[in-house]
Amino acid sequence: MKATAIANANIALVKYWGKRDKKLMLPQNGSISMTCDGLATTTTVDFGDYENDIVILNDEELQKDKEAIVAHLDFIRGMAGIKQKAKMVSSSNFPVAAGLASSASGFAALSLAASKAAGLNLSKKELSILSRRGSGSASRSIAGGFVEWHRGQKDDGSDSFAESVVDKNYWHEFRMITTIVTEAKKKVSSRSGMAQTVENCPYYDGWRKTINNDLDTVRSGIKNRDFTLVGSTAERNCLKMHALMMTTTPAIIYWFPPTMQIIQSVMLWREEGLECYFTIDAGANVKVMCLEKNAAEVNKRLLGLNGVIKTIICRPGDEARLVDKHLF
């Protein structure tokens, strides 16, 4: 009863911010993302003769912070009709809880590995729905390439899942350069930040009124490989989301000084003719979108900025998948 899965993180081009059902992790709006081949989590799950669930993340055994993972294992045990405790070992090749979608790849890999170890053979849709129960954005990391998470309408969440808009090879020239300006865990989690924003941001209704247009524009831009349309819309959508956070009470500001420097630099480079756009999730680390032909130059300039620790150049990546090599 052991299985290992690899799932990639995803970076949203049209953001999800806010839940309409916290238990089922149902979003207030749909979203579109790119699955990133350079940001991966590998997870091995074994159900067996353990007294308690053991959770090891990046070589550290969790004690106090494993409730969400154990709850997800409990849900999978219920689906499979088993009672054995589990040992879970997980490793990510990028910083966790730093605005780089580590929970997305983490819960997608956990869902695939644990469900397989428990004897379940779930469809991609079922895996996306299961992953969503752990972390909303994890629903998107089950699929590869460019992915849309449907908001859905049903109260039970059965129509809120993610699927590929196009596969990873359709627009292979697209690049997402992740800049690392901090590897520290952010002070306000995405989950609490969303709840706070929905509760009291005076501009949240405006966000909801414009989101479907952003989805339609980016979806069309991806299918037509229109980089200017996708990049500019994603950048604007990102700024709208952070404007919500900043106007929440108390204000949520994830940005550090290097974050702002990257934003201003990208806008300047674009004016100079080097086409690139930025997007930022709930954190300080900026992702810069460009095409393959400009990736080396954009990356060189990013590494030359003060405060940029390192960069990771990502192509559209694979869907979550099982592998034979276990972590233990």
Where in the chain are the domains?
1-328
The separation between CA 228 and the C-alpha centre of its own chain, rounded to angstroms, equals: 23
Question: Residue 81: exposed, middle, or buried by beta-carbon count in 10 A (0-12, 13-18, 19+)?
Answer: exposed
Token pair listed for 129: 């729905």
- Torsion, Cα 209 148 101 94, to 10 degrees, reads -150
- What letter does residue 169 receive in the DSSP assignment? T
Residue 97, pLDDT score: 55
Alpha carbons 51 and 129: distance in angstroms, whole number: 29
Exposed, middle or buried: residue 70 (CB in 10 Å: 0-12, 13-18, 19+)? middle
Percent of the chain with pLDDT over 70: 98
| CB contact set of 108 (below 8 Å; sequence gap of 6+) | 5, 7, 41, 127, 131, 138, 139, 141, 142, 320
Top CATH class, 1-328: alpha beta
Q: Yes or no: say if 210 and 241 are a contact pair by the CB < 8 Å rule.
A: no
Q: State whether residue 74 is helix, strand or coil.
A: helix
Residue pLDDT, tens place only, 134-165: 999 999 999 999 999 999 999 999 999 999 99
| Average pLDDT of span 98-125 | 90
Mean pLDDT to the nearest integer, 102-123: 96
